[in-house]
Amino acid sequence: MPSYSIDGVIPVVDPTAYVHPSAVLIGDVIVGPGCYVGPCASLRGDFGRIVLQEGSNVQDHCCIHGFPDQDTVVEVNGHIGHGAILHSCIVRRDALVGMNAVVMDEAEIGEQAIVAACAFVPAGMKVPGRTLVAGIPAKVKKTLSEEEIAWKLEGTQTYQVLTVRSLASLHEVAPLQQMEPGRPRLPASEVRSLIATRRG
């Protein structure tokens, strides 16, 4: 992956983590055990420190940055959806930030909380644990059910499996010019969208 030092500070990636070759790590970035960093993610530790704790994931096209002397942290099993932006904030253990959401300076997403897709969490907001926030600006919509919390954890565990799969088998290839007969499908996973889960 493109990895750059700045002012002599070099990114750190645990050997059990997977960082896609198109992701960019700059400076004071620490990627912990079992983490997944997706394609085209940008983790810019050129001002403040960025920490991904064990088992967390940062998906494709996410941007993480922060002010000097402020850490941006995704705690254990944190889950950052496609295209989200984190800036000088903390995402607590088992929390989820949805696709294209923005979490601003000194905001804190509580344990097992969910930030809805496209939400804007303003600077300094403290999102209570086990709640759903949504909207622009984000507001607490409800307390999460056990089903919703379990669904989030299942999704995070699927990304932890993806980390292992990627380390073992993902590599650059030339595309085929046509589909081969009997084309295999990827191994099925038990994870489903929340709406599909509710349909049973």
Residue ranges per domain, the chain?
A: 3-143
pLDDT, position 1: 72
CA dist., res. 31 & res. 23, Å (int) = 12
pLDDT, position 68: 95
Mean pLDDT within 6-18: 98
The mean pLDDT value of the chain amounts to 95
The angle at the Cα of 29, spanning 99 to 69, to the nearest 5 degrees, equals 100
Mean pLDDT within 52-65: 98
Contact 134, 125 (CB under 8 A): no
Confidence of residue 198 (pLDDT cuts 50, 70, 90): low
CA dist., res. 101 & res. 115, Å (int) = 7
Judged against a pLDDT cut of 70, whether residue 21 lies above it is answered with yes
CA dist., res. 45 & res. 65, Å (int) = 6
CA distances from 85 to 24, 65, 92, 160, 190 (A): 15, 8, 16, 21, 28
Which pTM does this prediction carry? 0.93
pLDDT in tens, 180-191: 999 999 877 776
User: Which CATH code, of 3.40.50.720, 2.30.30.100, 2.160.10.10, 3.40.30.10, is assigned to 3-143?
Assistant: 2.160.10.10
pLDDT, position 39: 98
pLDDT in tens, 87-133: 999 999 999 999 999 999 999 999 999 999 999 999 999 999 999 99
pLDDT, position 200: 66
